[in-house]
């Protein structure tokens, strides 16, 4: 039965899954990502102010994830994704026009809210859609292919964004807003999964939702995993993406690259960065079969933590370290989504997944503030080295308490 379902959905892909891949390809983050923090620095922001913006984003995530997940469970996954995508498109346009810290702080609230509507709901929609075809076990495989489509599209977007940024740092934001808007059009062609429509959403009161989330967070097979991945690993690796651009600029200028070439070179680096991630994401299913989710999560924090410490002593190692972090991130998120989805029910699924993002958003706040202060006082490389030590020591402590991934 499972093999027949796999053939039905994946060889060739069902039309709905193809639309999912197309939607993933319109996320457009790579247009602005190569110049994002250079744009903020060009507006006169300090590293501490950038850290405050990221903190505002994550605090909005903390307070907005569960309510938006609840809305996704009540009004439909597709409708929630549509609201979030539209809100993100409008916000990206606003950021490109912004020229002050206060304006950006306000826009960051709406930007986070847009992702709140999409975060847990997107994986909930996919898992329930695969359940319709008796293929829920292929979630990591299909999600990995979706991430691969997004990253492959992002490779070209990164190159274009880098060149646009060399002309004007606001241009990539405008293009990203337009492409994200196309994603809303794709969502209009999608239907709700039958599995969701058959669930008794009328019984999903706020009290019932709170009970579902509490049960999930305290589940024996999830509690250590939540701390291990959503609190510690996700918080530390988030900092890698925040400080990539200033560290990249320092490293390449030190080895002789002209400062005027940094923005366009960042575009090419992000293209390589995306393609590497796309290749690994495409083979998410194969990695799952050959390595195993448990082995992956046990080894991952130590590999990443060691590379973060190492690049402080040999700065040029930052370039392959960033490629490694990018390549591993989406595969890891797919594995995390598969593992959590396998341990929760359809009713309240979007809310539970959103609560995981809420936990991660809350945990990253002290990391962000501390890293911003350390970067201004010493350097971003030093801040990431400290984060690497915290990741290794914290992961070892959790493993001594409990293996985070059940067999």
Range scoring the smallest mean pLDDT among 63-67, 373-377, 384-388, 395-399: 63-67
Quote the mean pLDDT of the chain.
Answer: 80
- Any idea what DSSP says for residue 14? P
Q: Are 264 and 163 in contact (CB under 8 A)?
A: yes
pLDDT band at 109 (very low <50, low <70, confident <90, very high): very high
The domain spans of the chain are 12-401
Each residue's pLDDT tens digit, 386-407: 999 999 999 999 888 888 876 6
Instruction: Note the pLDDT of residue 34.
Output: 80
**CA trace torsion 287, 354, 362, 154 (10° rounding):** 50
Asked if 63 and 116 count as a contact pair (C-beta separation under 8 A), the reply is no
Q: How many CA atoms lie within 13 A of 248 on its CB side?
A: 27
Q: What is the pLDDT of residues 293-312, one digit of tens each?
A: 888 988 999 999 999 999 99
Share of the chain above pLDDT 90, in %: 18
pLDDT range class, residue 96, cuts 50, 70, 90: very high
Distance between CA atoms of residues 49 and 61, nearest Å: 18
Q: What is the rounded average pLDDT of the residues 239-265?
A: 84
Among 81-90, 126-135, 139-148, the least confident range = 126-135
Among the ranges given (111-120, 135-144, 214-223, 304-313), the one the predictor scored with the smallest mean pLDDT: 214-223
| Rounded-to-integer distance, Cα 257 and Cα 250, Å | 10
Say yes or no to pLDDT of 95 above 90.
yes
Residue 185 has phi, psi (to 5 degrees) of -65, -40
Q: Comparing 134 with 108, which gets the higher pLDDT?
A: 108
> Which pLDDT band, with edges at 50, 70 and 90, does 263 fall under?
confident
Which two three-digit tokens encode residue 398?
């959790």
pLDDT at 313: 94
Question: Per-residue pLDDT averaged across 306-321, rounded?
Answer: 92
| CA gap 339, 320 in Å, rounded | 28
| CATH code for the part of the protein at 12-401 | 1.20.1250.20
Q: Exposure of 206 by Cβ count < 10 A (0-12 exposed, 13-18 middle, 19+ buried)?
A: exposed
Alpha-carbon distance 297 to 137, whole Å? 19
pLDDT value at residue 386: 94
- Model confidence band, residue 206 (pLDDT cutoffs 50, 70, 90): low
- Report the pLDDT averaged over residues 126-137: 71
Give the burial class of 163: count Cβ atoms within 10 A of its Cβ; 0-12 exposed, 13-18 middle, 19 or more buried: middle
């Amino acid at each position: 039965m499972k093999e027949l379902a796999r053939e039905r959905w994946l060889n060739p892909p069902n039309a709905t899954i193809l639309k999912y891949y197309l939607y993933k390809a319109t996320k457009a983050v790579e247009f602005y990502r190569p110049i994002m923090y250079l744009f903020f620095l060009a507006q006169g922001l300090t590293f501490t102010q950038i850290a405050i913006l990221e903190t505002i984003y994550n605090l909005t995530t903390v307070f907005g994830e569960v309510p938006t997940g609840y809305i996704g469970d009540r009004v439909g996954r597709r409708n929630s994704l549509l609201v979030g995508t539209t809100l993100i498109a409008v916000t990206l346009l606003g950021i490109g026009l912004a020229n002050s810290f206060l304006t950006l702080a306000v826009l960051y609230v709406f930007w986070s809210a847009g992702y709140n509507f999409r975060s847990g709901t997107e994986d909930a929609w996919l898992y329930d859609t695969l359940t319709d075809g008796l293929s829920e076990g292929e979630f990591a495989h299909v999600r990995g292919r979706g991430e691969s489509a997004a990253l492959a599209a992002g490779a070209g977007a990164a190159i274009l964004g880098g060149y646009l940024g060399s002309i004007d740092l606001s241009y990539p934001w405008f293009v990203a807003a337009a492409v994200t808007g196309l994603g809303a059009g794709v969502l209009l062609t999608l239907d709700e999964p039958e599995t969701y429509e058959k669930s008794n959403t009328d019984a999903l009161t706020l009290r019932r939702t709170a009970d579902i989330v509490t049960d999930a967070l305290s589940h024996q097979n999830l509690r250590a995993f939540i701390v291990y991945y959503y609190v510690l690993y996700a918080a530390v690796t988030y900092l890698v993406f925040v400080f990539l651009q200033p560290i990249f600029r320092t490293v390449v200028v030190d080895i002789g690259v002209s400062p005027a070439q940094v923005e366009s070179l960042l575009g090419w680096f992000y293209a390589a960065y995306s393609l590497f991630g796309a290749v690994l994401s495409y083979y998410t299913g194969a990695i799952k079969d050959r390595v195993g989710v448990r082995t992956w999560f046990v080894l991952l924090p130590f590999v990443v933590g060691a590379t973060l410490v190492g690049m402080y002593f040999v700065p040029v190692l930052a370039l392959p370290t960033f490629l490694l972090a990018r390549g591993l991130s989406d595969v890891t998120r797919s594995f995390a989504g598969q593992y959590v989805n396998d341990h929760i029910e359809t009713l309240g699924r979007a809310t539970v997944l959103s609560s995981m993002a809420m936990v991660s958003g809350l945990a990253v706040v002290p990391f962000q503030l501390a890293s911003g202060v350390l970067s201004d006082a010493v350097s971003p490389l030093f801040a990431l080295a400290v984060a690497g030590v915290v990741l290794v020591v914290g992961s070892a402590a959790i493993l001594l308490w409990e293996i985070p991934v059940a067999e």
